[in-house]
Structure 1
Amino acid sequence: MIQDLTLRWVVTLLFVLSAAECVYAIAAGRRRWPSVVGYSLHTIMAVAMAVMAWPWGADLPTVGPMVFFLLASVWFVVIAASGAAAGHRIVTVYHALMMLAMAWMYAVMNGRLLPGQSSGSGEASSAGHHAGHTDMPGMPGMDMPTMGATDTAAPSGTGYPAWIATLNWVCTVGFAIAAVFWLCRYLVARQSRSSGDTVHHLGLLSQAMMAAGMAIMFGLML
């Protein structure tokens, strides 16, 4: 969860607006079934991320959602490889990576699935949440499972092994760049008269907000 209340609401708003846009895109007109499934997966992802920002979200299971988003990532890969996303293959691969990043975040939050994490820092129950979660050094805004105190692979200032911290950095920087990219595309589309309809414009803005929210969440894990 995010400890800072203002930042928590900012992240929640980013993902709620993203989810609302996905629902609007489905309802706005006739869509091919791959698009409907894609928008639905992004809606679920946005809601899951908004929930993750709140204290009660830390008590929810992590393995089920992790498997779900792994399968969602595979689905986008299949769509990209099958040609169903003709003309949008790179964007579809990006969506697959976003779903994979979601699965990765749940795996890290679980605390015991990844090599180098403490076997005793798994999913928290009501009592275990207070004992198994703490304010980790280098993570001023997020409350996450504690890592093993004897882990010699953890870099200074974090509770994660070096390889986990590195991947978190990659996700943070990657989604920050993606947020700027999608925002620039949205601004260009707004200025162009032949760049698509309202749903298209909102879709670009939604992707920018979703990427920004992911960058913030991964940034708090550093």
Structure 2
Amino acid sequence: MIADPVVRWLVTALFLLGAGECGYRVFVGRLSWPAVVGGLLHGLMAVAMAVLAWPRGAELPTAVPLVVFALATLWFVALTLGQRVRRETNLYYALTMLATAWMYASMAGGVFAVPRGGAGGLGVAGGEHGAMSMPGMSMPGMSTVDASPGLVTAGLNWLCTIFFAVAVAWWSTSLFVRRRASPVPSVREHLGAAAQTAMAAGMAIMFAVVL
């Protein structure tokens, strides 16, 4: 969970904005069935990440979300390879689902954590659940020991933070690029760009918190 309540509410609002747009797109727009599945997966991802920012959310089991978002990654990889259109977008969606799965894997219990005393072996934060201690995040009801993320965990979290920070810039400017081709973008394009920007910002903040 995110310890700072202001950041926690900000992240929640960003992800709920994204989830709301996904629901609007699925239930109002006339989409193909792969687009419906993709929209539902995005909405589920947004809700899952919003829940993870809260104390009770951090205590929930991680195995099911981990499997779901791993399968969602494979879904978007299949779309990337099987469709000739929107390949870059589907690849981005696949990476987003993979990052969500990685977040849940990191929360599952000391993935690649290394004790401060030195490398060699998995350093897992103490407590009855054996969850990993992360700077900026707290696990209610769990005692912790002096542990730090391993190089692999830290490196992947940095990579995800930078990736989603770049994605925020990319999605926020995509609408201006569309305006050159079409002077009057549709409401759906406005909402879509805003939702993707919001979710990318939420992901960047979540990964920045655990650095």
Find the counterpart in structure 2 of residue 3 from structure 1: 3
User: How big is each residue's C-alpha offset from its partner over 1:75-132, in whole Å with a ceiling of 9 and x where there is no partner?
Assistant: 000111111xx321011011000000001111111124547544575xx8xxx46x85
The within-5 A match list for 1:1-222 is 1-83=1-83, 86-114=84-112, 117-118=122-123, 128=128, 136=134, 139=135, 141-143=136-138, 159-189=148-178, 193-194=182-183, 196-222=185-211
Find the counterpart in structure 1 of residue 118 from structure 2: none
**Is the contact made by 2:161 and 2:208 (CA closer than 8 Å) also made in structure 1?**
yes
The secondary structure found in structure 2 opposite 1:201 is helix
Identical counterparts, % of pairs:
45
**Is the contact made by 2:124 and 2:131 (CA closer than 8 Å) also made in structure 1?**
no
The structural deviation recorded for 1:163 is 1.4
**Is the contact made by 1:73 and 1:97 (CA closer than 8 Å) also made in structure 2?**
yes
**Is the contact made by 1:183 and 1:208 (CA closer than 8 Å) also made in structure 2?**
yes
TM-score, normalization: structure 1? 0.82
Q: How many residues align?
A: 202
The structural deviation recorded for 1:3 is 0.8
TM-score, normalization: structure 2? 0.86
Structure 1 residue ranges without an equivalent (≥5)? 150-157
In structure 2, relative to structure 1, the CA distance for the partners of 1:114 and 1:162 (3 Å cut) is closer
The structural deviation recorded for 1:185 is 1.3
In 1, the alpha carbon distance for the partners of 2:2 and 2:125 equals 22
Name the aligned partner's letter for residue 3 of structure 1. A
The structural deviation recorded for 1:177 is 0.6
The secondary structure found in structure 2 opposite 1:143 is coil
**Is the contact made by 1:15 and 1:213 (CA closer than 8 Å) also made in structure 2?**
yes
Structure 2 residue ranges without an equivalent (≥5)? 115-121
In 2, the alpha carbon distance for the partners of 1:120 and 1:10 equals 28
In 1, the alpha carbon distance for the partners of 2:78 and 2:172 equals 27
**Is the contact made by 2:22 and 2:39 (CA closer than 8 Å) also made in structure 1?**
yes
Cα-Cα RMSD: 2.5
In structure 2, relative to structure 1, the CA distance for the partners of 1:59 and 1:88 (3 Å cut) is same
